[in-house]
A and B are shown apart, each in its own frame.
Chain A
Amino acid sequence: GAVVSQHPSRVICKSGTSVKIECRSLDFQATTMFWYRQFPKQSLMLMATSNEGSKATYEQGVEKDKFLINHASLTLSTLTVTSAHPEDSSFYICSARDPLIQGAFFGQGTRLTVV
């Protein structure tokens, strides 16, 4: 299947700092990418839909000024968690929609710990 690379896989940051997570589609062009958050033993929660060249669409309850999304090219979307707090600690996962099958392939996920 298609490959989506997410980096970093794990990050620890201090409260109040910002963290950037990258998501790249390696072998296809993704006009649409998705960002999810998942807490332990809970289901995936869609945070936002990232469209290349336009503003991201955020789900209800997700602060767009706190979770900045940039989708500047057909193969790269970034999520920046600004002014991180311990409650932002979670598993963040991106996915990219493969235009051929219309399904999404997931990155490896980023485990964020805010101390």
Chain B
Amino acid sequence: QKEVEQNSGPLSVPEGAIASLNCTYSDRGSQSFFWYRQYSGKSPELIMFIYSNGDKEDGRFTAQLNKASQYVSLLIRDSQPSDSATYLCAVKDDKIIFGKGTRLHILP
């Protein structure tokens, strides 16, 4: 059974700080990795994707991938209250496998 694991949280981070979200996956052959943000009552929104080891930056978001350790992380710099949401890690296999998500709460 291929799995994607995330800490369910909630993760509380003060406004302006860096929020760090982590994810591990079981299939060493996975090649494509995604982060989604889901606000309560809404559908998930794709915010980052990463294929290669290392960092990928997009605005305040940085995705980090380490295939040797089978983990992918998402950093959110200068956290804002509007970043409060559930963040889903996903890995592409023949399907797209989602973690259960980490609830992030930015404290004003």
What residues of chain A have their CB less than 8 Å away from a CB belonging to chain B?
1, 6, 34, 43-44, 46, 49, 91, 93, 95, 97, 101-109
Contacts and interface: CB of A to CB of B under 8 A. Distances in A.
Contacts of B2: none
A102 B42 CA distance: 22
Interface string B15-34: 00000000000000000101
A102 B92 contact: yes
Interface size class for chain B? 10 to 19
Given A101-B49, A103-B32, A43 B101 contact: yes
Interface of B: 32, 34, 36, 41-46, 49, 88, 90, 92, 95-96, 98, 100-101
The B interface, classified by DSSP as helix, strand, loop or mixed, is strand
A91 B49 CA distance: 25
A91 B43 CA distance: 9
Contacts of B49: 101, 103
B46 A43 contact: no
A49 B41 CA distance: 23
